[in-house]
Amino acid sequence: MDLLTKILLGLFVLFLTACQTSGTPSNLKEAEVQELPTAKGEVQIKTEKDTYSSDAERIMLLITNNSDEGLSGAFFELEKAIDGTWYEFPLKDSGPIDAIGGYQSPHATSQLTLSTEELQYELSPGSYRATFLGMASEFTVTE
């Protein structure tokens, strides 16, 4: 192999490496909304933990509803930040986790749980957020 071929091959490998984000699928769809609050009015969401390990079996979302009305018919989804942009992190069966059966009572804190077995891809280290009713709660995944 001549020197020019070796250089070009080396540059090609570097280019491919630079274009990949470790452990993250490259075909994720960009989230429609990039900026989301953690609360709306008297409703606030927060993940049970600020940090989960990549082998976590579940992710729990706590919903504090201090309003006078119950909440229902909403969806719980995960998104991952890649280079400062949020991307949808899909389920095996596609679509959000339907929380219709999970009625959120007024003046109470309730929870929604996602089994990570439902995810199309394994969790990899990085920044994630759980979204619910136009709000988001960020968390980190580590090794």
126-142 pLDDT, tens digit per residue, is: 999 999 989 999 999 99
What pTM, to 2 d.p., does this model score?
A: 0.77
Nearest residue to 32 via CA among 113, 88, 82: 88
Is the predicted pLDDT of residue 21 greater than 60, yes or no?
A: no
* Contact predicate 108/124, CB 8 Å: no
Q: What confidence score (pLDDT) does residue 76 get?
A: 77
Q: Torsion over CA of 85, 33, 100 and 139, rounded to 10 degrees?
A: 30
Q: Is 53 helix (H, G, I), strand (E, B) or coil?
A: strand
Q: What confidence score (pLDDT) does residue 103 get?
A: 77
Over range 9-32, report the average pLDDT. Answer: 59
* Contact predicate 130/47, CB 8 Å: yes
d(CA 77, CA 108): 21
Q: What confidence score (pLDDT) does residue 96 get?
A: 54
* Contact predicate 88/95, CB 8 Å: no
Average pLDDT score over the chain: 82
Q: What confidence score (pLDDT) does residue 75 get?
A: 66
44-91 pLDDT, tens digit per residue, is: 999 999 999 999 999 999 999 999 998 875 567 899 999 999 999 988
